[in-house]
C-alpha cells in the first residue's frame, strides 16, 4: 500500500460488511475497528483517503439492513460514490480484490484495471477470468504493476 501511495495512487477501501446485516457486530463496533485500522496504517506511513462499506445483505437478520441495494459488491454503488466524492477517474483507477464480486464491481463501475489477490478467504483461491492478473499476495501484485517504473525489491 505504501508503494502505491508513493507512486501517487489514492488509496480507498471498498468493503462489504454483511456481518452488520447478520447482527454479528454493530455499526459502532465496525467504526471502532475501522478507526484502529486507519490508525495502524497511518502509524506505518499509509493514508487511506476513505473507507466505504456496505452494511446490507438481503438474507440478513437485522431487518433494516436485510435489503438488496446498489452498494453491495458486485454492484458498483460504493465505487461510483467514491469516485464522485473523491474526484477520481474510474477509467484511470485500479482495483485489487480477493473475490469475484470485487472484480465484477470494478467492471460494472468502469474501473480501468482489476486484479485478484489471494487471501485467507477460500473464494480467493478460485481464479476469475475477468481479472487482468492473479497474484499470491498484494505485494506481488503491486510489484508487478510498478515494475515498469523500475520498482524491484530484493
DSSP letter assigned to residue 144: H
The CA-atom distances, in angstroms, between 39 and each of 60, 75, 78, 138 are 30, 29, 22, 20
Of the pLDDT bands very low, low, confident and very high (cuts 50, 70, 90), residue 154 is low
Tell me the per-residue pLDDT of 44-87, one tens digit each, with 9 for 90 and over.
999 999 999 999 999 999 999 999 999 999 999 999 999 999 99
Tell me the per-residue pLDDT of 4-16, one tens digit each, with 9 for 90 and over.
999 999 999 999 9
Of the pLDDT bands very low, low, confident and very high (cuts 50, 70, 90), residue 121 is confident
What is the distance between the alpha carbons of residues 23 and 57, in angstroms, rounded to a whole number?
11
- Was domain 2-145 assigned CATH 3.40.50.970? no
Amino acid at each position: 500500500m505504501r508503494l502505491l501511495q508513493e507512486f501517487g495512487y489514492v488509496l480507498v477501501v471498498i468493503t462489504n460488511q454483511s456481518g452488520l446485516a447478520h447482527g454479528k457486530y454493530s455499526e459502532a463496533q465496525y467504526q471502532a475497528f475501522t478507526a484502529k485500522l486507519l490508525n495502524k496504517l497511518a502509524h506505518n506511513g499509509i493514508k487511506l483517503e476513505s473507507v466505504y462499506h456496505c452494511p446490507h445483505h438481503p438474507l440478513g437478520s437485522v431487518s433494516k439492513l436485510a435489503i438488496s441495494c446498489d452498494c453491495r459488491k458486485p454492484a458498483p454503488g460504493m465505487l461510483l460514490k467514491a469516485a464522485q466524492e473523491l474526484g477520481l477517474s474510474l477509467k484511470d483507477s485500479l482495483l485489487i480484490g480477493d473475490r469475484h464480486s470485487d472484480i465484477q464491481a470494478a467492471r460494472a463501475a468502469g474501473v480501468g484495471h482489476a486484479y485478484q489477490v489471494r487471501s485467507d478467504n477460500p473464494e480467493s483461491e478460485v481464479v476469475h477470468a475477468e481479472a487482468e492478473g492473479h497474484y499470491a499476495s498484494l505485494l506481488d501484485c503491486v510489484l508487478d504493476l510498478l515494475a515498469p517504473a523500475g520498482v524491484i525489491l530484493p
